[in-house]
Amino acid sequence: MPLSANNPDRKSWLHVDKNSDFPIQNIPFGVFLTRDDIITIGTRIGDTAIDLGALHQLGYFDGIPLTDDIFLQDTLNDFIADGRKTWRAVRNRIAHIFDSNNDALKQNKHHKEIVLFRLDEIEMQLPVQIGDYTDFYSSIEHATNVGSMFRDPDNALLPNWLHIPVGYHGRSSSIIPSGIPIHRPQGQTLPNEATEPVFGPSKLVDFELEMAFITTDANDLGEPIPIEEAEEYIFGLVLLNDWSARDIQKWEYVPLGPFLAKNFATSISPWIVTLDALEPYRVEGPKPLKPQLPYLQYKGKKSYDINLEVAIRPKGAKETVVSNSNFKYMYWNMVQQLAHHTVNGCPVNSGDMMGSGTISGPTPDSYGSMLELTWKGEKPIKMKDGSERKFINDNDTVIMRGYCEKDGTRIGFGEVSNKLLPVYKKK
């Protein structure tokens, strides 16, 4: 099936701002609560949210084999499980429905009232029920920075790093959509020079700038996914903030990895941008610095040119952009990650999420965490309101944004924006 939804010349009869992340070439998928308190699956063009459940009931998807309730659900899992052919048919049809040359819905005032929502009338939800969440560690700049700070600047990368897309399991239950505030976590830390740990609020709360991909049902227990098939199982991507408590992490993470330092919250942008929509933005990735085992060798362009930024907005002040990075810097790409994850037969299901790991670029202003940007707090960042930041303060909002741009078409992710509240107090 051709990707007609990607036609760069298409315009929509819905208004789209010039710098919108959501032109008719995007057509992301999400889940929202409507003004009538109904949860539905939807998409977005410009600043208009579109109820796909209502569109389907009104017959606009006739001819595409879909169950009646496929969009009347509180997660995208079943739709994603229907597979790439269905995603493409639906995305192409949506492009057709909202094409400026198609008057059918445009002229039907009653249907428009049922289907279209202003953004302030809806509340975005988590788009999928995430069965398993894996986080990789695939930026060579990030791994090198962390290794330099905490181990040995001359041997910053561990011996396995250039051979394995290193990853670990994260916690699904604390994954939240953009907009939900979180609390500064408490936990055990070992103060400098101390021999016994203390308990209290983390003093070093950080963000990690990441992207994550959402999978469809891929394999049975025992069955590896060959790297050349891996892309077929990737539905789309979101922005991800892997909130981290550096002092808790330092004390707990040897030998089994980060745990409470990470699982207090992980936030994602609510619109899943399909891999299909990102097709025009494929680029070559970094050249391998060491030979990679055959199961990790791939052909073609498997990286994506996605501009990323992180801003911090102190309470009552304007935001300050603290990092500019790009998804194309990733040393290990998504098909390598998925082939590695399943090479031992680990099953991957619809709605699983795999994070990239912190996306740091080559220059100090492109690092993807405060740990790296301020180099462990040694170089505080000046904010627009005159204050300084080593890590994240109470009541700061951390905002991540991402977009691709080429030949006048911009495809974006919107944002993941969450506020850090003080330590939780029982009501």
- Cα gap 312→39, rounded to integer Å: 31
The continuous run of DSSP H or E covering 421 comes out as strand 409-421
Instruction: State the nearest-atom distance from the C-beta of 178 to its own copies, in Å.
Output: 14
Interface stretch with its own copies, choices 107-115, 118-126, 184-192, 377-385 (CB under 8 A): 184-192
Tokens, residue 378: 């040694």
Is 183 designated active site? no
- How, if at all, do strands 175-177 and 266-268 pair? parallel
Residue in 28, 127, 167, 368 binding its own copies, rule: CB under 8 A: 167
Write down how long the chain is. 427
Give whichever of 97 and 354 is closer to its own copies, judged by the CB atom.
354
Q: Is position 144 an interface residue for its own copies (rule: CB under 8 A)?
A: no
Residue in 156, 164, 283, 317 binding its own copies, rule: CB under 8 A: 164
In this structure, the dihedral spanned by the alpha carbons of residues 88, 92, 98 and 99, taken in order and rounded to 10 degrees, is: 150
Tokens, residue 105: 């819905």
Q: Is position 343 an interface residue for its own copies (rule: CB under 8 A)?
A: yes
Q: Is position 246 an interface residue for its own copies (rule: CB under 8 A)?
A: no
Strands (E), 196-256: 198-201, 205-206, 209-215, 234-241, 244-245
Q: Which candidate in 15, 110, 111, 142 is catalytic? A: 142
Per CB under 8 A, which of residues 295..334 are in contact with its own copies? 295
Distances (CA, A) of 244 to 281, 358, 361: 30, 11, 19
Q: Is position 183 an interface residue for its own copies (rule: CB under 8 A)?
A: yes
Task: Name the residue type at position 60.
Answer: Y
- Cα gap 277→8, rounded to integer Å: 11
Per CB under 8 A, which of residues 194..223 are in contact with its own copies? 196-199, 221-223
Q: Is position 394 an interface residue for its own copies (rule: CB under 8 A)?
A: no
Give whichever of 81 and 317 is closer to its own copies, judged by the CB atom.
81
Question: Which residues are near its own copies by CB under 8 A?
Answer: 131-132, 137, 158-160, 163-164, 166-174, 176, 180, 182-183, 185-188, 190, 196-199, 221-224, 245, 248, 251-260, 263-265, 293-295, 340-341, 343-349, 352, 424, 426
